Structure 1
Amino acid sequence: MNLSNIQLSNSFKSKTVVKVITGINNTNSCQILKIAKAANLANATYLDVVANPRIIKLLKICSSLPLCVSSIDPMDIYNSVVAGADLIEIGNYDVLYRHGIYITSTELKILIKEIKLLVGNIDICVTIPYHLDLVEQINLAQDLQNLRVNILQTEGFFIKNALKNLSSLTDSLSASLLSTYCISNNVDIPLIASSKVTSIFAPMAIYFGASGVGIGSTVSEKSSVIDMVNYINEVKNSISIYNFTHDSKLSNTEISFFGVSAFNKEQ
């Protein structure tokens, strides 16, 4: 499925997408502009920002990159599109998870239909909730394809303070990669892996069927724009080198270390 934004469509087709996330709740203009400057200098694919019209208008002046807004609030998304957002993302469910709320497939599809009525034909990315089992994730992904969603995103386990625990980080990333593999074999929509992905693991996401990665916290933790640029370039280069030297699909045998069955379109 093609995206209406040609720049984004080409990056997804070549599996070289690097989305830079400034933070779904981050409205600090100075910090956002700092990250945006680094993303521009590193020629990242696009920016993922808070659904805030003021931030969107500011970035439209200062950044040449396509802007994605992330929210689960239809009106926030609508107002951001009016302000100039280039695509939207329904996801970042952490605010729900913190309150013990887990969105269902039915609720998500109803939300998407409502948002599509508000925003028309703008490109839409939807995050597949991690708490659904793999069969449910695949079924949801196929339903979203039928709803003409343009991009899917996988997420890992929601774990409080996960960044402080290497084991938690690894578990979260493994869950995201497994979802990426299973979903990518059952739909024709490009996928982004974005849970705890680093420059070291970015090629693994492509190997598991993703068309790109989303990076956020590791970038924002850098102290200077130059450090941010260097890190974004690290991720880009690791993906480019991988794409040049490898086939980006796993076999069923290679996935077996997860201890689960792989789900393929052919089955």
Structure 2
Amino acid sequence: MTRSARRTRRTTRTLQVAGAGAAALLALSACSSSDGASGSSDTTKSSASSPPKLSGTVTVFAAASLKESFTALGRQFEKAHPGTEVTFSFGGSDTLAASITGGAPADVFAAASPKTMAIVTGKGDAATTPATFVRNQLEIATLPGNPHKVASLKDLTKSGLKVVLCDRTVPCGAAAQKALDASKLKLTPVSYEQDVKSALTKVELKEADAAVVYKTDVKAAGDKVEGVEFPESADAVNDYPIALLKDAPNSAAAKAFIELVQSPEGRRTLTEAGFLKPTS
């Protein structure tokens, strides 16, 4: 074999080795590119599955009897979602409903009866179907020590006893009237109040001897009043519905607040306040 032929053969082998090396490098590069694309895809998927961070103010219109428990839930919500703030407007459900249908900006409405919630849904101002989250039962609130020995609903009709009721347009007043009608009792109060807290305050300030309010309000008042249960209250239990409002300024955070109210944690806070669980 000539010297020229040997050089040609060595050159050919060198080119073959170089070609094989280049092919291997290309394969490795392709694998690396594929792995990087896969990692990028996984990161994108992970980012897409993460819930958006909540922020801003959630405005909740709620029945006066929810004041203590909803205030506690508001603090829990703000702690779980830094950057959010929950503001409340508590009052008679009928007044709150009228404000909402009148254009007052709010995210959530929690009413003390389906009837008052219907004021809002009837005007098309609810974005979701109202859901009952708790129930509440009436109780008689008397002065501490119950000096007038009130033991029944009938005792409220005693001559000279100053009794306060919620207005009949308010859920607690409608429930009280239902209980009185069922017992065939007639009662003329010294005043009708626009929400349950106002009725209770009359007793706390000793401006009235007794008031028909909710069990939750008697419990929240502590030793400022004394509670007296009466069997007729079982026939006048109020369902409390909650709904997201149609023009909610902060619907994402509002939905999360409603979820908290309906969660086991929220239910625990409400039952500890004296509310009853919904029937379904």
TM-score, normalised to structure 2, is 0.22
Q: Which of 1 and 2 has greater Rg?
A: 2
The structure with higher relative contact order (CA 8 Å, sep 6+) is 2
TM-score, normalised to structure 1, is 0.23
